[in-house]
Amino acid sequence: MAKKKVINAGSSFVSPAKSIEDSELKDELEGSFLEYAYSVITDRALVDARDGLKPVHRRILYSMFNSGLTPEKAYVKAAKVVGDVMGNYHPHGDSSIYGSLVGISQDFNLMLPLADGKGNWGSPDDGPAAARYTEVRLDSNAMLLAGELKEDVVETSYNYDGTLLMPDVMPVQFPNTLINGQSGIAVGMATKMPTHNPSEVMEAARWLLTHPNANLDKLMEFVPGPDFPTGGIIIGVDQIREAYQSGRGSFKIRGLVEIEQGDRGKSNVVITELPYGIGAEKIIAKAVEAVKNQKLLGVADIKNLSDRRQGTRIVFVVKAGVNPNAVVNALYSMTDLETTFGVNNTVLVDGQPKTLGLKDLLQIFIDHRIDVVMRRSLFRRDKRQTRLHLVEGLLKALIDIDKVIAIVRNAADADTAKTGLIKQFKVDEVQADYILSIQLRRLTKFDQIELSAERNRLKAEIAALTDIIDNDSVLRKLVGEELTAVKKLIDRPRASLILGGNIAEHIEEAKTVAQSMTLEVEDAAVEVALFSDGSIRRVEANTKLKAFSKGGKLSTLVDTIPARTRGKVVLVSNKGKAFRVDALHISDKAVDAKSVVSLDKGERIIALAPIADTSADPNSTSGVGFFFATKNGTVKITNPDYPVRGDEFEMISISAGDEIVTARWLEQAVGAEVAILSTDSSLLRFPADKIRPQGRSGAGIAGIKLAEGASVLAATVLSALEVEKAVVVTSTGLSTKVSPFNAYPPKGRATGGVRSHRFVKGEEALTGAGIVVNPVAVDSSGAKIELPSVDSRRDNAGTKMEATISFVGCG
């Protein structure tokens, strides 16, 4: 075995026997490597679970805080900060320190940047300017990490040369470990933690503080998944839960893409958000290479219009007649527009590396925060007790100020004066020294009143602090209140969208969609269908469509309209908004309408309308317009006067407290019938031509006269052919009835209608209803319900049913 000679360099001259030690090379290498590995793990690459900071980040923040580089102060050269950190706390080279300073300054890197940089601090594609050109100071977020350091709230240790003290951990006021994430490579291990939304994490921390036994599913109600400062779409809730459970997992991130109408029949695929850590130039470079290799077809031009004012905007100009959705799928598969984020929550806990899940990371922050608030309360109480002691001594002396003056005047020296004060006023040495240090002009009657008020205030503050220290519930309540206050300071909306389900399902779905699309398309006749679950689908003309089951829930057919592959259709939501979209943007598989148009919370697509001849006039259409009916009994037919500009517009003005019950495209009013059914079982039928069409800004007219407490439950407009085939389905929850529509006599608009369902004991109102051809009824779980036979007696009671109808659609 080879041996290594080790020379003792600790003395300038030693005897040969003491200067050389024999050591096995294997043992020496093992020992030295273990020391190096331990140093990298604990002092360089991994973050502390309590404050989410690596040592270099902690030392940068402390050095800047100690130097007074707070947010209200002027910027200083970054090179000065780097030099101070390297000279006082972190002797590991200026490049690594500046790189770390840059990292905590970039708003595309951290959810809450900790340093406020001035100058060129880089981008996802480019590095920053040199430290001599940039300036920096602490961000307000950093003050929430370091602001309490002066109150002895954390343990400290000496720096590398033993001359200065520095904190072992920061007294963070928010879970920086989760909110800002971190990555690092140590020896034999690594860490990679995603960023999270500050508001969501703070809410989860507050909940866990008051509910220590909360399970992961409850915490995920507050933190549904990561959130990245660059936005994007996160795919894979199942994988996110796995990462939150075990501390390891992975999920997909996609850039956000919009499709816009371009010039001369072309479309633009516009990327407005990129996956975390991916730059625009990287996407463009791979796309250009794919175009040159003829793997990415249909792209006429690529423009990078991104800037600091409008953010990311990468435009792919798609050739006329090419399906832009196919280009989008190609970009997902051929570039980094879709990436995988591998989660590895390895952090230091009491100096030991551990891999932790969401709950453990939150609990460690809470425990740390409780310890900080306890130490802060002890520090503040000690400070106030010291001050109270001095004030009480001074008040004793002020009782007889003449004696104080006489003792001081007659004393031979300060020690004699101090002894005299101790003996005369029963004060201790500390109080006596303080009395002697006070200026005579402060020993007035006014100051005595001030001191008495100060004594009372100090006693009250000491009592309150003692209550915090001695009472765990009071301590936790204070921590919770401070978390609430901090949440308001760092509150911000979610930037990343989360799609549920399994990654494999989304990948397979994307492949299916991509295979169903060809880049070059013919202008063929198609139909667009809308289903009750809000999904839409494009099929070949004359395709027989029917209800389908998805995830155990039955989805019935709501409407179909004709279109052309190179044409457009109009989608209408329950909030009265219309969206003009290309038919090619709609998949030939049933997909959620949210994947085609952007909808607000609670908004869903409820109706479709055709646009007749898009080649001659992009705004032309056949038919009378949209029929609307609202909960409060208003009806309206909206003229199809689509605006020339803009693909999103209002179709009806809705009054406060009202909402749309139904919307349907009306081809012609002659022979068509309007049917309105209210919760008190009144059904009104009148000709559709009694409604005069209005413009898009109109609010409609009265449709049915409602009884007090009643509201519209179902409404429709039936063509002359549908009038003959339609039936009326009514359900009270206890009984269900099916009657022919023609059994109800027509009446005038704005009247009360006739009774459609006779209530028996226990029945007070209709809970489910529909006026359709070929009805299909489902319960709340989505299961199909067999309906009773048609009852020709319109005013009869219903048939008792075990299941409760929640929706009636068309089969």
Enzyme catalytic residues = 133
Distances 772 to 112, 403, 672, 776 between C-alpha atoms, Å: 54, 103, 14, 9
Report how far residue 419's alpha carbon sits from residue 425's, in angstroms, rounded to the nearest whole number.
10
Report how far residue 689's alpha carbon sits from residue 672's, in angstroms, rounded to the nearest whole number.
8
Q: How big is the chain, counted in residues?
A: 811
Enclosing H/E stretch for 676: strand 673-678
Q: What do you get for the CA distance between the two ends of the chain, in Å?
A: 85
| C-beta of residue 319 within 8 angstroms of C-beta of residue 266 | yes
Looking at the DSSP bridge assignments, the partners of residue 807 are: 778
Going by C-alpha positions, the residue among 95, 123, 121 that lies closest to residue 108 is 123
Looking at the DSSP bridge assignments, the partners of residue 682 are: 755
Report how far residue 727's alpha carbon sits from residue 713's, in angstroms, rounded to the nearest whole number.
16
Q: Where are the alpha helices (DSSP H) in 253-298?
A: 280-292
Strand, helix or coil at 478? helix
| C-beta of residue 76 within 8 angstroms of C-beta of residue 63 | no
Distances 200 to 106, 220, 458, 745 between C-alpha atoms, Å: 21, 9, 38, 56
Strand (E) positions, 165-247? 165-167, 182-185, 190-193, 233-235
| C-beta of residue 21 within 8 angstroms of C-beta of residue 8 | yes
| C-beta of residue 651 within 8 angstroms of C-beta of residue 686 | no
Report how far residue 623's alpha carbon sits from residue 216's, in angstroms, rounded to the nearest whole number.
54
Beta-sheet strand order (sheet of 76-77): 76-77, 135-138, 115-118
Dihedral, CA of residue 382, residue 384, residue 386 and residue 388, to nearest 10: -140
Report how far residue 808's alpha carbon sits from residue 811's, in angstroms, rounded to the nearest whole number.
9
Report how far residue 593's alpha carbon sits from residue 261's, in angstroms, rounded to the nearest whole number.
19
> Among positive and negative, which fits the CA dihedral 549, 550, 555, 557?
negative
**Which tokens sit at 561?**
């309209």
Instruction: Give the burial class of 102: count Cβ atoms within 10 A of its Cβ; 0-12 exposed, 13-18 middle, 19 or more buried.
Output: buried
Count CB atoms within 10 A of the CB of residue 623. Answer: 15
Amino acid at 61: L
Amino acid at 365: F
Strand, helix or coil at 335? coil
Report how far residue 147's alpha carbon sits from residue 811's, in angstroms, rounded to the nearest whole number.
65
| C-beta of residue 205 within 8 angstroms of C-beta of residue 483 | yes
Amino acid at 47: V
| C-beta of residue 259 within 8 angstroms of C-beta of residue 328 | yes
Region label for 622, one of left (φ > 0), alpha (ψ between -120 and 50) or beta (otherwise): beta
Strand, helix or coil at 620? coil
Strand, helix or coil at 22? strand
Query: Measured in whole angstroms, how far is the alpha carbon of residue 189 from the centre of its chain?
Result: 30
Q: CB neighbours of 633 closer than 8 A, spacing ≥ 6?
A: 676, 678, 702, 703, 704, 705, 706, 711, 712
| C-beta of residue 536 within 8 angstroms of C-beta of residue 508 | no
Enclosing H/E stretch for 349: strand 346-349
